[in-house]
Amino acid sequence: MQGFLDNLIRHFGHDPATWPWTQFVYLGGMALFAFAVINFAAITAGIFSWAERRVAARMQSRVGPNRVGPGGFLQWVADAVKLLTKEDLVPAEADKILFRAAPYFMMVGFACVFVALPFSHRLVIADMNIGIFFIIAVTALIVVGIIMSGWSSNSKWSLFGAIRSAAQIISYEIPGGIALMIPVMLAGTLSTQGIIRAQGGLPWQWFVFDNPAAFVAFVIYFISALAEGNRTPFDLPEAESELVSGYNTEYSGMRFSYFFLVEWGNMWVMSALATTMFLGGWQIPGVSAATLDAATGGTAVALELLSLAIFVGKTLFWVFVVMWLRWTLPRIRVDQMMNMCWKYLVPMSFAAVAFVAVWMLVVHAVPALGLVMRAIMFVLGVAFTVFFVYRTAQNIRDTGDKFDFTSNW
């Protein structure tokens, strides 16, 4: 982004290194981008809340939102307007300062993640050389916001929800963090763009198919991300059947909507991170990153848009998988959740790091082995997908898809 702003200044006939207003242009540019990105996050979160209800309706044979706009698409706008015009209640018994401050912590922690999260080949706010480490660090602020909101509400439900949520998020940060170390080892850099560049456009060039341990790391990361985002099957902190609504029970109106926004926006963050770290990011099949760098004029714009489309497509696919899991799996118990983290995911992620360390040594000695492993992993992946689609199709054929879901649209 700095390069973009420099070019802009040069375009107006100034030298960015000496022009006294450079830093103000930087500041204005940053503020503009920040505002755009935060609004993007808010709007995607809104659209996801609509999409989630439609997906739920389709999966569970019920009617989703279908009145406001085509297919109920504008439902999220209606929801936003409703939340904006609702009364903002602060309980008399609550700790008022912290109660009001908690949403700010949530939003800051959530917005800062987007600084290092790429969108396409050139579209990244700041390609930090500590990118992924930074993302892991700032998500910690969300935990602070959750604890603050739960504690300050002075409600039993809120407190239980907050403590459960905090314990769950911090537990799953360990396997998640160790799993993300594997792409870092393979790429040899912490920069998110650097990690994407170390992969390729074709599936067998992705880190997820690099070796078995990397695949395991991907699964561990995905499970941990689900738990950190309080998504089903790990939605114990807001289990509506036992805790009303968890840590945000006492919040209403606009203040409630920020918790909502962060939760749905997190789906984008976790999916985009999975795409970046394991699934090749914005890499276009058959076009190397060097070609993208060298492209100029119309070709550059076209390739840029293509890379953006590929990144967004992959991310939206994983967002769909997250929704799919939510409406397929039942909620697990607290002890199961803790067991899974400390007894399965943490030892497995340690083992995966050790395996990748060995594997990188082996591949360095015999480079052909790396290619063979990638090929085997890719073939296995394709075989599994084909088998899965075949079985699903067979199931649908056997039971007979009798319901005409489309009539609700």
Partner 1 sequence: MTESVFFWIFAVLTVLLAAQVVLRRNPVHAAVSLVGAFFFLSGIYLLLAAQLIAILQVMVYAGAVMVLFVFVIMLLNLKEEEMGHERLTAWKIIGGASIVVTTGLIAYLALGNAYPTGLLRDMARTQPGFGSVKGVGQALYIASVLPFEVTSLLLTIAVVGAVVVAKGKI
Partner 2 sequence: MPFHFANVLVFAAIAILFVLGSLVGGHFLRPHNPTAEKEMIYECGEKPIGQAWYNFNPRFYLIALVFVIFEVEIAFMYPVASVYRSFIEKGQGMLAFLEIFVFVAILAVGLAYVWAMGDLEWVKGLKQDVLKAAREAREQPRKAA
- Per CB under 8 A, the segment of 36-44, 127-135, 229-237, 314-322 that binds partner 1 is 127-135
What angle is formed at CA 216 by the lines to CA 286 and CA 170, rounded to 5 degrees?
115
Looking at residue 85, its amino acid is T
Query: Is there binding between residue 103 and partner 2 (CB under 8 A)?
Result: yes
Taking the complex as a whole, the smallest distance from the CB of residue 39 to partner 2 amounts, in Å, to 8
Give the range of 71-79, 143-151, 219-227, 264-272 binding partner 1 by CB under 8 A: 143-151
CB of 158 to partner 2, least distance (A): 7
- The owner of tokens 């940060």 is 173
Which of 135, 148, 178, 225 is the binder for partner 2 (CB under 8 A)?
Answer: 178
Q: Which is nearer to partner 1, 18 or 85 (CB)?
A: 18
Binding mask 326-355 for partner 2 (x = CB under 8 A): --------xx--xx--xx--xx--x--xx-
With binding defined as CB under 8 A, does residue 126 bind partner 1?
no
Among 45, 55, 111, 289, binds partner 2 (CB under 8 A): 111
Longest dimension (CA), the chain: 73
Q: Using CB under 8 A, which of the segments 166-174, 214-222, 316-324, 358-366 binds partner 1?
A: 166-174
Binding pattern for the stretch 77-116 against partner 1, x by CB under 8 A and - elsewhere:
------------------x-xx--x---------------
Residue 111's binding partner among partner 2, partner 1, none (Cβ under 5 to 8 angstroms by kind) is partner 2
Token look-up 């067979």 returns 394
Count residues contacting partner 1 (CB under 8 A)?
26
CA distances from 176 to 27, 137, 224 (A): 34, 12, 5
Q: How many residues does the chain have?
A: 409
Q: Which two tokens stand for residue 282?
A: 């914005």
Place of tokens 């609504």: 245
Confirm or reject binding of residue 156 to partner 2 (CB under 8 A): yes
Q: Which two tokens stand for residue 280?
A: 């090749």
Q: How far apart are the first and last CA of the chain?
A: 42
Nearest Cα to Cα of residue 245 among 142, 152, 155: 155
Query: From CA 381, how far away is CA 377, in angstroms rounded?
Result: 6
- Percentages helix, strand, coil for the chain (3-state, rounded to 5) are 75, 0, 25
Shortest Å distance, C-beta 274 to partner 2: 19
Render the burial of 278-305: b for 16+ CB within 10 Å, e for the rest: bbbbbbbeebebeebeebeeeeeeebbe
Cα separation, 34 vs 32, in Å, equals 5
Told to check if 2 binds partner 1 by CB under 8 A, we report no
- The answer to whether 211 touches 373, Cβ cutoff 8 Å, is yes
Place of tokens 């920020």: 258
Q: Per-residue string for binding with partner 1, 180-199, x by CB under 8 A?
A: ---------xx---------
Q: Is 199 in the site for partner 2 (CB under 8 A)?
A: no
> Which CB sits closer to partner 1, 79 or 95?
95
Sites for partner 2 among residues 252-281 (CB under 8 A): 253-255, 258
Q: Can residue 138 be called a binding residue for partner 1 (CB under 8 A)?
A: yes
Q: Which stretch binds partner 2 (CB under 8 A): 64-72, 187-195, 366-374, 389-397?
A: 187-195
Q: Are 167 and 160 in contact (CB under 8 A)?
A: no
CB of 190 to partner 2, least distance (A): 5
Between CA 53 and CA 75 the distance in angstroms is 10
279 contact choice in partner 1, partner 2, none (CB below 5 to 8 Å, kind-dependent): none
Q: Please work out the total of residues on this chain that contact partner 2, with binding judged by CB under 8 A.
A: 89
**Binding of partner 2 at residue 8 (CB under 8 A)?**
no
Question: Is 126 in contact with 116 (CB distance < 8 Å)?
Answer: yes
Q: Is residue 353 part of the contact set for partner 1 (CB under 8 A)?
A: no
Site residues (vs partner 1, CB under 8 A) = 23, 95, 97-98, 101, 129-130, 133-134, 136-138, 140-141, 143-144, 147-148, 151-152, 163, 166, 170, 173, 189-190
